[in-house]
Amino acid sequence: MDKEYALNDIVEMKKQHPCGTNEWKVIRMGMDVRIKCQGCEHSVLIPRKEFSRKLKKVLVRNEESYE
């Protein structure tokens, strides 16, 4: 399973958000990763180590981040 992720990617987490959606957009990366729910626009800041553990897969890649 590919765990490579970058800014503006749409990712799927292991647990879905209470609003019913499981698609998140990575909007900030650093020591922590900020992700925004694609259903209700709620954003969550989680430590990178925890994010990597809870990440299921990358759904849509933002190609400019990989060049």
Residue with tokens 């609003």: 19
Provide the mean pLDDT of the chain.
89
- Give the integer Cα–Cα distance in Å for 27 and 25: 6
**C-beta neighbour count of 9 within 10 angstroms:** 20
Percent of the chain with pLDDT over 70: 90
pLDDT tens digit sequence for 32-42: 999 999 999 99
**pLDDT band at residue 4 using 50, 70 and 90 as cut-offs:** confident
Higher pLDDT, 43 or 65: 43
pLDDT surpassing 50 at residue 1 = no
- pTM, whole model, 2 decimals? 0.84
DSSP assignment letter at 8: T
